[in-house]
Amino acid sequence: MAYKIYDTTMTDRVKRLKERTYGGKPRLESDRAVLITEAYQASEDQPIDMRRALAFQHILEHLPIAIREDELIVGCNTKEPRSSQVFPEFSYAWIEQELDTMEHRSADPFYVSPEDKEALRRIFPYWKGKTVSELALSYMSEDTKKAMAHNVFTPGNYLYNGIGHVCVDYGKVLRCGMLGLIDEIEKTLAGLKETDPDYNTRMIFLQAAKLSLQAAIAYAQRYAKLAREMAGICRDATRRAELEQIARNCTRVPAHPASSFYEALQSFWFVQLLIQTESNGHSISPGRFDQYMYPYLKKDLEAGVLTPDAAQELVDCVWVKLNEVSKCRDEFSAAGFAGYGLFQNLCVGGQTRDGRDATNDMSFMCLQASYHTRLPQPSLSVRVWNGTPQDLLRKCVEVTQTGIGLPAYYNDEVIIPALINRGLTIYDAREYNLIGCVEPQKGGKTDGWHDAAFYNMCRPMEFVFTSGMDEGEQVGPKTMPIASMKTFEDFKEAYKEQLEYFIDRMVNADNAIDYAHMQRGSMPFLSTMIEDCIGRGKSAQQGGAVYNFTGPQGFGVANIGDGMLAVKKLVFDQHAFTLTELKAAMDANFGREDSAPDGQNAQVTSIVKTIVDRLIAQGKKVTDDQIKTILKGVMANETMYANLYGAGSGMESSRAAQIRKQIMGCPKFGNDLDEPDEMAREVAYMYTGYVEKFTNPRGGRYQAGLYPVSANVPLGTQTMATPDGRYAHAPIADGCSPVSGCDVLGPTAAANSVAKLDHAIASNGTLFNQKFHPSALSGESGLVAFTNLIRSYFDNKGSHVQFNVVDRQTLLDAQKHPENYKTLVVRVAGYSALFTSLSKSLQDDIINRTEQALKI
Amino acid sequence: MENRDGSVKGLIFNIQRYSIHDGPGIRTNVFLKGCPLRCKWCCNPESQSPKAEQMQDAEGNPGTVGREVTVGEVMEEIVKDDRYYYRSGGGVTLTGGECLFQPDFSCALLQACRDHQLNTAIETTAFASLEVIRRFIPLVDCWMMDIKHMDPQKHKEWCGQSNEVILDNARYLSEHHPCVILRVPVIPGVNDTPEEIGAIAAFANSLGKGVRALHLLPYHRLGEDKYRRLGRTYALRDIEPLLPEQMIPLRDAAAKYSLPVQIGG
């Protein structure tokens, strides 16, 4: 056995740190925005890489610093924990607009003090016309902007923010120190020839990179000085000794190689923090923490200078720190990434470079830290392969049992070949880690652009029914009118054409954004820790990384697959209704009162849409002003218009509901039935197979993912009813999971269906969520069966799975809103069953049992 | 030799995948319809009648329980979870209802599972002729059977049949089957005294070496709602489930002998 498992408990210090981190409200702070504005104003004559480095230096010299009570690992980029700085160089207009409402919004509110508001309002005018987002938009085609305005896809993540989504070579910083990196830069600089065609840009990048590293070292020295000062006035001898140790750590790292486990953790934290100070790109992922930290742990434990308990406390402190950083997003994006998460994905287990099991003591300590702290960060991942020890999987399931939804499980046996297919060497592929939510990459060598866009696969389906018309505008291609479609092939072909047209637009958008980041969003500091930026003399944004990708996410596979099958069976095989009738039923929202999002009257919208569509069908042009006039008229006489244009379609509610009933009677993805599963597979291929044809400006390939983070809910609100029976504005299927409530045969059947998709081609990541009641995992047999469930899903070539193990509150809610919990698995007596399939009395019985089952 | 062409028909009312507490590993439970006993606490009352019957679903909509299937059709469902069985050492459990009550179907199905190299288990009353018992023995890896009471009168009163056949079969199985688990549903007012449980334990310990364990299964009311949905009344309406601490003296009474005892299956 190559590892030891230590039994440790969470210390009171960690408890206090955790409480304090969550004590106050997250705030939006203005210090960074003011500093970067000053620096940019002073460097207008400089090339961009140098301006970025000078700004980084200016920020790190003046950003307020603090060592908080009880802290052993120090460094924070905001005055209050869980607060956010502002990054106006990427975009600012939305902050300006939302400054007064940000405190009260439903998703991720931020408090902004009057002083901060004033400071921000003062600097924003400087940025007009200078941001990454403005440049990106200027590069996009009109059709692309139109497609975005009609919510077919959103590249908002990178349009308005830094890229992030990267795992740097933390191990190298620990081994060589930043002085070692500076040394490497100087050697490279010395080797440059002035006559080289790219001498000038390389020289400037390398000097900027060096300056950034020096700024980081100086920043750590500020902490060393502060710690010494605090120690000087500290009256508690224990804390004084701690502060003196902190001062020694910050004097040495990240400048020098780490000489102890404690220094290695502190050095790691500075790197992690400063990447998130240079840019606001999220998903800055620590990657294979157990691999690069283990040598330091092993050395200190063997030398007897550190106990396992002390080591665990330090790791727990890092875990709390990972929850201290935060990010302010615009209101709509906040709903798509709800929960203040920064998706700092930290990975354990898997294989070594030479294909052996990588599990070590540190792997268990990471799991234990999540078990202790029970916090959402880091996004903990475990890599599972055929040789993963059962001990590791058991420990993982113990963490899963806590109900925090961590770790997420990944399958080496699918992901490694998938990465090799994308051009990684087998050695690099074996060393992959996860980024953000579910995206695999080789850390330290990749600029993966993993969240390049969210592509709502349901919107092109709407356009099939309107031949590309949306709200009175020709947005998509004029595909065959539904009334002329003779075969299912006609229908499928139209969907494919719509889908591909908008993928083209998405690629145009992403490449425009890519160029803008290349020109205005270069990151010299981050790039020093990604191979081969120093060698090539280019930042990662300019193509300096060894591996470059763009990964846009499609979601809604299950809705489109189920919808396609329903159309095939009911329209073309059984002639139960026509496509025109189906359209009418969907326009009537299948006979259900529309649950439109806040403040919108869906009936009015629908009627206006119908009127405008008819005018256009008559060959008339409709301007925005005319639409506004129609809207006013309809709002004033809603009842009259509703009678005229009944729910927008003229179809009786009862007929529309009947059509839905027939649709719901069709076989659905998620029940281990070949027919719908094959259809979902084909739909997934339509997206993944087309996306991979493209290349990006950094010289890398596009690769698709199939996951929505939590965007399936907000983007669902923008989507009308779909042919799978989904109501207008309802959430879209989550990741490549089945449509909620449509998988009714338990966890193995759903897993089998999902595994039938080709996960390897969706190499930017797939996501499969399962919900379990804690009692379904309880006891030895429950726990062991659960590990086998994971292994078997992976035998079937599933790529990722994560579990929600839900509590009593959820069960009570499930009783009130059973429609939201149709796949919740509970253990009943001697067997497991779907919660909502049980009678009220039985549900009550189980709810009352839950608390016992929750004792861990 | 059992029929192997997959055409034998039987009546079932459910196939439950990912069952993890009815034998080793991850299992698929096949619920057979029809039972010779009428235990008043039965938590699967829809399993008792040997015919398909009307039963409302949980929301009160009319429906039917029970469907005729062939062995081949059931196997198609079973093999879908092959990888789960291989990984976990699991397999198939026939439960019900009473699988001994449909011997041709059950034996053909067990044979098909055997041919597919799956672990087989049955949950049974063992109320059947010795001839039937003998036919099942070579097809079953894990034989789970109930002993509800040692008193023939009480057994007849609560279960509709006397217990002589069951006890005889238990004796025979303990000599001729390598893995028998005896299970006692502990029902308040029926068999929940240390004396009654002790008598069962004494009997269990007097049997042959095939008996591996004695499981005490605490009464639960999880089937109550189903009686309403079947249009029947639940006879044990006023009985409260036992508290965990009430099970302790019963377990102690059973554990006086050498046979391992556990609470729960």
User: Both tokens of residue A852?
Assistant: 């016992």
Mean pLDDT lowest among A493-497, A736-740, B173-177 = A736-740
Question: How many Å lie between the alpha carbon of A797 and the closest alpha carbon of chain B?
Answer: 11
Asked if the model's pLDDT at residue A829 lies above 60, the reply is: no
In terms of DSSP bridges, do strands B119-124 and B91-96 run parallel, antiparallel, or are they unpaired? parallel
DSSP A27: B
Name which residue leads in pLDDT, A850 or A313. A313
User: In a 3-state reduction of DSSP, which class is residue B69?
Assistant: strand
DSSP 8-state class, residue A482: G
The answer to whether residue A363 scores a pLDDT higher than 60 is yes
Distance from C-alpha of A541 to C-alpha of A525, rounded to nearest angstrom: 12
More confident residue, A636 or A725: A725
CB-CB contact of A704 with A514 (8 Å): no
All domains in chain A, ordered by first residue: 12-86+92-130+166-280+286-342+345-435 (3.20.70.20), 454-702 (no CATH), 726-854 (no CATH)
Closest chain A residue to B228, measured at CA = A839
Question: By mean pLDDT, which of A394-408, B2-16, B159-173 is the weakest?
Answer: A394-408
Nearest residue, CB atoms, A838 vs list B18, B43, B58: B58
| pLDDT averaged over every residue in chain B | 94
Nearest residue in A to B87, CA atom:
A788
* C-alpha–C-alpha distance, residues A177 and A247, integer Å: 17
* Alpha carbon distance A522, A196 (integer Å): 22
Q: What is the mean pLDDT of residues B109-124?
A: 97
The confidence score (pLDDT) of residue A813 equals: 87
- For residue A576, what is the DSSP state? S
Which tokens is B131 given?
A: 């001839």
Which residues of A are less than 8 Å from B20 in CB distance? 776, 781-782, 785, 831-832
A743 and A749 Cβ atoms separated by less than 8 Å:
yes
CB contact under 8 A, B80 and A752: yes
Q: Report, as an integer, the average pLDDT of A548-555.
A: 96
pLDDT of residue A637: 66
Is B63 an interface residue toward A (CB < 8 Å)?
no
Residues of B in contact with A838 (CB under 8 A): 58
Taking residues A374-397, report their average pLDDT. Answer: 94
Would you call B81 and A752 a contact, using CB atoms and an 8 Å cutoff? yes
Asked if B20 lies within 8 A of A832 by C-beta distance, the reply is yes
Q: What type of residue sits at position A334? A: A
Give residue ranges of A with CB < 8 Å to any B CB. Answer: 672, 745-749, 752, 776, 781-782, 784-785, 788-789, 791-792, 795-796, 825, 827-833, 836-842, 845
Tell me what the mean pLDDT of segment B144-169 comes to.
97
Instruction: List CB contacts (< 8 A) between B25 and chain A.
Output: 785, 788
Shortest distance, CA A400 to any CA of chain B (angstroms): 18
- Cross-chain residue pair A792–B26, CB shorter than 8 Å: yes
CA A450 to CA A439: how far, in whole Å? 7
The whole-number pLDDT of residue A812 equals: 86
**pLDDT tens, residue by residue, A447-465:** 999 999 999 999 999 999 9
Do A829 and B224 make contact, defined as CB atoms within 8 angstroms? no
Q: Nearest to residue A313, comparing CAs of A353, A369, A389, A374?
A: A369
Task: State mean pLDDT over A32-38.
Answer: 98
Nearest to A31 by CA among A111, A119, A103: A119
Encoding tokens for residue A363?
Answer: 């792997």
Contact at CB, B20 and A785, closer than 8 angstroms: yes
Long-range CB pairs of B1-4 (<8 Å, 24+ gap) are: B2/B107, B2/B108, B2/B110, B2/B111, B2/B139, B3/B71, B3/B104, B3/B108, B3/B111, B4/B108, B4/B111, B4/B112, B4/B115
Listing DSSP states for B160-188 in one string gives SS-SHHHHHHHHHHHHH-S-EEEEEEE-T
The shortest C-alpha distance from B251 to chain A (Å) reads 19
B220 and A796 within 8 Å at the Cβ level: the answer is no
User: Scanning every residue of chain A, which has its alpha carbon at the shortest distance from the alpha carbon of B25?
Assistant: A785
Identity of the residue in B16, B29, B224 whose CB atom sits nearest the CB atom of A841: B224
All residues of chain A having their beta carbon less than 8 Å from the beta carbon of residue B81 are 748, 752, 792
What integer is the mean pLDDT of A235-257? 98
Instruction: Return the higher-pLDDT residue of B117 and A735.
Output: B117
Residues of B in contact with A840 (CB under 8 A): 225
Q: Which two tokens stand for residue B211?
A: 């008996």
Note the pLDDT of residue A24: 84
Amino acid (one-letter) located at A159: L
| Residue A823 confidence (pLDDT) | 57
In the prediction, which pLDDT does A848 show?
A: 64
A671 DSSP assignment: S
pLDDT of residue A403: 73
Instruction: Select the more confidently predicted residue: A710 or A308.
Output: A308
**In B, which residues are within 8 Å of A791 by CB distance?**
87
Report pLDDT for A740.
76
Buried b (16+ CB within 10 A) or exposed e, A386-405: eebeeebbebbbebbbbbbb
Q: Amino acid identity, residue A170? A: Y
When scoring A752, A781, A834 by the number of chain B Cβ atoms within 10 A, the one with the most, hence best to mutate, is A781
Rounded CA separation B25/B119 (Å) = 9
Between chain A and chain B, how many beta carbons pairs sit less than 8 Å apart?
86
Is it the case that residue A832 has pLDDT exceeding 50? no
Which pLDDT score, from 0 to 100, does residue B260 have? Answer: 96
pLDDT of A355 higher than 60: yes
pLDDT at A28: 97
Global confidence as pTM:
0.89
Q: What share of chain A is helix, strand, coil (3-state, %, to 5)?
A: 55, 10, 35
Residue A641 has a pLDDT of 65
Q: Residue A830: which of B22, B58, B83 has the nearest Cβ?
A: B22
pLDDT band at A817 (very low <50, low <70, confident <90, very high): confident
At A782, the pLDDT band (50, 70, 90 cuts) reads confident
Query: Which residues are CB-contacts of A549 (< 8 A; sequence separation ≥ 6)?
Result: A422, A441, A446, A447, A448, A449, A450, A696, A700, A701, A702, A703, A764
Are A788 and B25 inside 8 Å of each other by CB?
yes
Q: Which of B43, B87, B88 lies at the smallest CB-CB distance from A829?
A: B43
pLDDT above 60 (res A852): no
> Best of B88, B219, B221 to disrupt the A interface by mutation (most A CBs within 10 Å)?
B88
Q: Rounded to 10 degrees, what is the CA torsion of A814, A816, A817, A821?
A: 10
Q: What is the pLDDT of residue A856?
A: 24
Average pLDDT over residues A479-500: 98
Report residue A380 CA to chain centroid gap. Answer: 13
- The model's pLDDT over A504-516, given as tens digits with 9 standing for 90+, comes to 999 999 999 999 9
- How does residue A96 score in pLDDT terms, banded at 50, 70 and 90? very high
Please answer whether residues A751 and A793 qualify as being in contact, where contact means their C-beta atoms are separated by less than 8 angstroms. Answer: yes
Question: Is the dihedral angle over the CA atoms A691, A692, A697, A698 positive or is it negative?
Answer: positive
- How large is the average pLDDT for residues A247-251? 98
CB-nearest to B88 from A672, A749, A788 is A788
C-alpha B155/C-alpha B151 separation (Å) is 6
Q: What is the pLDDT of residues A753-775, one digit of tens each?
A: 999 999 999 999 988 888 787 77
pLDDT range class, residue A339, cuts 50, 70, 90: low
B221: its two tokens = 């009311």
β-sheet bridge partners, residue A826: A833
Contact A785 B224 (CB under 8 A): no
**Domains along chain B?**
9-263 (3.20.20.70)
Contact between A833 and B88 using a beta-carbon 8 Å cutoff:
no
pLDDT at residue A609 tops 80? no
Question: Among A672, A841, A845, whose Cβ lies nearest the Cβ of B80?
Answer: A672
Omega cis (within 30) before B10: no
Chain A residues with beta carbon closer than 8 angstroms to that of B87: 788, 791-792, 795
In which band, very low, low, confident or very high, does the pLDDT at A367 lie, cut at 50, 70 and 90? very high
The residue ranking higher by pLDDT, A638 or A127, is A127
How many Å lie between the alpha carbon of B96 and the closest alpha carbon of chain A?
13
Confidence bin at B153 (pLDDT 50/70/90):
very high
- Please list every residue in chain A whose beta carbon sits closer than 8 Å to the beta carbon of residue B21: 781-782, 827, 830-831
| Rounded CA separation A258/A176 (Å) | 8
Contacts of B226 in chain A (CB under 8 A): 839
The beta-carbon neighbor of B26 closest among A745, A785, A825 is: A785
Q: For chain A, give me the number of helices (H) and strands (E)?
A: 35, 17
How much is the pLDDT for B193?
96
Question: What tens digit of pLDDT does each residue of A147-190 get?
Answer: 999 999 999 889 999 999 999 999 999 999 999 999 999 999 99
Q: How do residues A582-598 score in pLDDT, each as one tens digit?
A: 999 999 999 987 655 44
Per the structure block, which two tokens stand in for B60?
A: 């009160």
Closest residue to A832, CB basis, from B19, B84, B87: B19
Give me the mean pLDDT over the B74-78 stretch. Answer: 97
Note the helical H segments in A467-572: 488-520, 524-527, 533-536, 557-566
Residue A139 has pLDDT above 70, yes or no: yes
ipTM score above 0.90? no
- How near does any CA of chain B get to the CA of A730, in Å? 23
For A633, residues 6+ apart whose C-beta sits below 8 A from its C-beta are A641
Retrieve residue A589's tokens: 């929202």
Tokens 């500093």, residue located:
A35
Q: Is the pLDDT of residue B168 over 80?
A: yes
Start-to-end CA span in chain A (Å): 27
Q: Which residues on A lie below 8 Å from B224 (Cβ)?
A: 841
User: Tens of pLDDT along A625-675?
Assistant: 777 777 777 766 665 666 555 444 578 889 999 999 999 999 999 999 999
Candidate from B20, B80, B86 with C-beta closest to A781: B20
CB contact under 8 A, B18 and A839: no
Task: Return the HEC string of A592-644.
Answer: CCCCCCCCCCHHHHHHHHHHHHHHHHCCCCCCHHHHHHHHHHHHHCHHHHHHH
- The mean pLDDT value for A20-49 works out to 95
Indicate if the pLDDT at residue A617 is higher than 70.
no
B147 and B170 Cβ atoms separated by less than 8 Å: yes
- Given a cut of 60, whether residue A600 has pLDDT beyond it is no
CB contact under 8 A, B21 and A831: yes
